[in-house]
Amino acid sequence: MTSKGLFKNTVVVGIITLISRVSGLFRDFFVAKYLGAGRLSDCFLVAFKIPNLFRSIFAEGAFNSAFVPIFSGVLYEKSEDKARIFCKNLFAFLFYILLIFTLIAEMFMPFVIDIFAPGFNENPEKFELAVNLAHITFPFLFCIALTSFFGSILNTLGNFKPYALTPIILNLCMIFSLVFFAQSFSTVAHTVSWGVAFSGMVQLLLLWWIAKKYGFGVISFKPKFSPEIGLFFKKIMPGILGAGIYHLNVMIGSIFASETNGAVSWIYYADRLNQLPLGVIGVALATVLLPSLSKEIKKHNLNKTKAIFNDSMKFASLLVIPAALGIIALSYPMIQIFFERGEFKVADTTATANILQILCISLPALVYTKLFSNVFYARNDTKTPMFVAGISLIFNVIFTVYLNRFLGYIGVVIAITISNWINCILLYLISYKNGFMVMYLNIIKDIIKITVISILMAFIVRFGVWGLMADISVYSLPLRIFALGLLIFIGVLFFITGVIITKVVSITELKNMIKR
């Protein structure tokens, strides 16, 4: 894939992901309105987070990193028929493994909740509600993991759109359940939990149907072992930790934060906004980059892989650095506009905004980590990212335990940020030492320029917040949205002008990016 094709597909996936994240914000708008940031919200978010954590680690991360290079190799080096046989056998193995895992989790759900939210033990009623809700939401993992299987097939075949659309289905199902069935169950939390479970079935059926049109709607219940199957499971086990380190860090933070009423919800809502640019930039770029790198590595074209990597670094930096600093500057009005209504109070807005500012400091690290990890995944190396993730996880636990004692839930979030940067830096250093990827000097200079311009932009936007939105509560919602949009426009205009003046990008390059 050429750099032009890489950017084009990244933009397409990024736009779809942006739509899905925006729909996710509307989903959270309804969740915050109906559940607030108290007992019901905490219980539902823990029940929702458990299958989502496993989905993020297994379905989005580990599975894709292990499957795509192997499937790509069989497809391009052998034949389509052998690739289809590999997929058919793998589906059978996955079906039974996921089924057994789901049944075990359902049987021992009280123990699972005790791990994820030990603070709930102090309130038996809260603990029981969380267990009941998790019983409903956990089968979502079974469906979404198989959805990922068909989605990864389509990604490798060059059709990135269907899998990128699946989160929108989840969001719409949750919104639909809240709006039309809020009073149909014992609590609103039960209603939205059933919405989660239903969305998993819809996503699976849709992706299977599309994959079938490509000749890969493979379903089998008779697993047959092969060298490719053995290689897949060998690669996926270390990838489970390596690909999900961020989510594990947030989970650990939520465990400690569960001691403070509302803190689980604050971290969740802040992470949702933090995930918006991460998904649009990091996930989209990584989704397109892995098949591209895998293909070039199979051709032993090292110079081409390095060029693709450096282009990706510059492209990612142009988006993620100003996004991170812009969100930090606009954190309070963003939280206030999106979530402060109904049961979500002013104090919840302040706490969530403080958490968001800290999380955004590591946003570039998260995006770069996805790019660096793909360098190893494309070489069928899932052990190195796992090893680095393990070190990062250890540091996260150490900092969390220490900082939580003095700073409470804020210390927990600081620990997450530190560990994310440790993970990013170590991955690049190992990649550089092995000669896999080297950032060209001009790319390093461009990233420094981008950072300086973004800092200046953040100060300008922050001054605008103090001026235009100093007392945001006196404005109507349309005026708040207009003021926020105006500040974002000023920030974007300043940044674009800055990168053109400093020659990070030329006007021609900017036009080409837009056209792509």
Range among 64-73, 75-84, 347-356 rated most confident? 347-356
pLDDT of residue 342: 64
CA-to-CA distance for 198 and 144, rounded, in angstroms?
11
SS3 516: coil
Q: Give percent of the chain with pLDDT exceeding 90.
A: 11
Closest by CA to 334, choosing from 246, 257, 406, 272, is 272
Where is pLDDT greater, at 73 or 341?
73
Q: Where are the beta strands (DSSP E) in 72-210?
A: none
Token duo for residue 11: 């933009």
pLDDT, one tens digit per residue, over 415-466 is: 889 988 998 899 888 888 877 677 778 888 989 999 999 999 999 888 877 6
Quick one: 234 exposed, middle or buried, by C-beta within 10 A (0-12, 13-18, 19+)? middle
Return the ∠ at Cα 273 (arms to 46 and 268), rounded to 5°.
15
pLDDT of residue 516: 46
Residues 6+ apart with CB under 8 A from 453: 322, 494, 495, 498, 499, 502, 504
pLDDT, one tens digit per residue, over 284-332 is: 666 666 666 666 666 666 677 777 778 778 888 888 899 899 989 888 8
Does residue 11 carry a pLDDT above 70? no
Assign 506 a pLDDT band (cuts: 50, 70, 90): confident
436, amino acid identity: F
Looking at 378-472, list the stretches that DSSP marks H as alpha helix, in order from N- to C-terminal side. Answer: 383-407, 409-433, 441-468
Residue 258 contacts residue 119 (beta carbons within 8 Å): yes
Token duo for residue 260: 């403070």
pLDDT of residue 2: 47
pTM metric for this prediction: 0.67
Q: What is the mean pLDDT of residues 90-95?
A: 91
Interhelix angle 3-35/188-213, rounded to 10 degrees, is: 160
pLDDT of residue 229: 86
Does residue 381 carry a pLDDT above 80? no
pLDDT, one tens digit per residue, over 335-369 is: 887 777 666 777 888 888 888 999 899 889 988 88
Closest by CA to 454, choosing from 496, 506, 507, 505, is 496
CA-to-CA distance for 195 and 440, rounded, in angstroms?
48
Residues 6+ apart with CB under 8 A from 515: none
CA-to-CA distance for 394 and 41, rounded, in angstroms?
29
The residues spanned by each domain of the chain are 3-515
